[in-house]
Amino acid sequence: MSDSVWISEVGGGYGNTIETTKHLFSHKSRYQQIDIYETRKLGKLLLLDGIIQLTNYDEFVYHEMLANLPFYAFRNGVPRRALVIGGGDGGVLRELGRHPELETIDICEIDADVIAAAKEYLPETACGYQDERVNVYVEDGSKFIHERKGYYDIIIVDSTDPGGPGEPLFNEEFYTGLKGALREGGIITSQGESAFLLPDIVARLNRITRKVFKYNAYATLHVPTYPTGVIGACMASDHCDVTTPAREVEPELAEKLRYYNSELHKACFVQPNFVRELFK
Ligand code: SPD
């Protein structure tokens, strides 16, 4: 007899279902419902308010790309100061931590309970917190950025979907604040949703970043764990086109990365016609 339970993220007339074998953690925090499962094939699964955030199976795609697209697109020397907004599981921190050039890696996560749960149940991503350059701020990212004017080289917004605590991270005011928190040459990258699943949000993010910044671009990443199997990374800068890397990946690091490479950095911004239409 099977002891498996199929867990679904459903929405927009569509769903993604993953076979789980054990419910490891369930907790209602001040902000959201946090669930962690052991799955049959994909390692551990993290959901926030029923929305799939990651599985061990393919989280490397999302985390490597969110960290490395801005890191290698940066042209004003090398990035020294990075900020992650959201991303309490630690996966983006882990990838940023691979870069010795970074002097400061700040994270601003609104929900301390996500950080605690990740540290207990998701050591594969939460290992990112072990880096001594990491400073943790349990605050609202949309307010935090106003305290750090002209400070960061790269800012990565690893948000949940709009609707929950991530809602303030999807409006023009927030992106104007992000721009203010960048120093010369700065680049932002944010979780950009799927153009198949949430075309209106993708179009909105593109509209906002095009209005607020001089350069903007949308990358597609392949993450089978997410409904529709893809998710976007929305990038913007006032200083440079972000679609080509300024530097090659260092050979030692290139051996460790499983998704990001310089060719993919250029290719992931090429969009099919229906996405180009969304951006008109
Ligand atoms: N629609 C799902 C978006 C999830 C993005 N956040 C992922 C968190 C991984 N660090």
Q: What is the 3-state secondary structure (H, E, C) of the chain?
A: CCCCEEEEEEECCEEEEEEEEEEEEEEECCCCEEEEEEECCCCEEEEECCEEEEECCCHHHHHHHHHHHHHHHCCCCCCCEEEEEECCCCHHHHHHCCCCCCCEEEEECCCHHHHHHHHHHCHHHHHHHHCCCEEEECCCHHHHHHHCCCCEEEEEEECCCCCCCCHHHHCHHHHHHHHHHEEEEEEEEEECCCCCCCHHHHHHHHHHHHHHCCEEEEEEEECCCCCCCEEEEEEEECCCCCCCCCCCCCHHHHCCCCCCCHHHHHHCCCCCHHHHHHCC
Q: How far is the CA of 182 from the centre of ligand 1 (A)?
A: 23
pLDDT digit string (tens) for the chain, length 280 residues: 468 999 999 987 888 999 999 999 999 999 999 999 999 999 999 999 999 999 999 999 999 999 999 999 999 999 999 999 999 999 999 999 999 999 999 999 999 999 999 999 999 999 999 999 999 999 999 999 999 999 999 999 999 988 878 888 889 999 999 999 999 999 999 999 999 999 999 999 999 999 999 999 999 999 999 999 999 999 999 999 999 999 999 999 999 999 999 999 999 999 999 999 999 9
CA-66 nearest atom, ligand 1: 10
pTM: 0.96
Q: Which of 66, 159, 196, 197 to mutate to test the pocket of ligand 1 (most atoms within 8 A of CB)?
A: 159
**Parallel/antiparallel/unpaired status of strands 44-48 and 51-55:** antiparallel
Q: Which of 51, 222, 234 to mutate to test the pocket of ligand 1 (most atoms within 8 A of CB)?
A: 51
Examine the residue annotation and report whether 158 is marked as an active-site residue of this protein.
yes
Q: With a 6 A CB cut-off, is 190 part of the ligand 1 pocket?
A: no
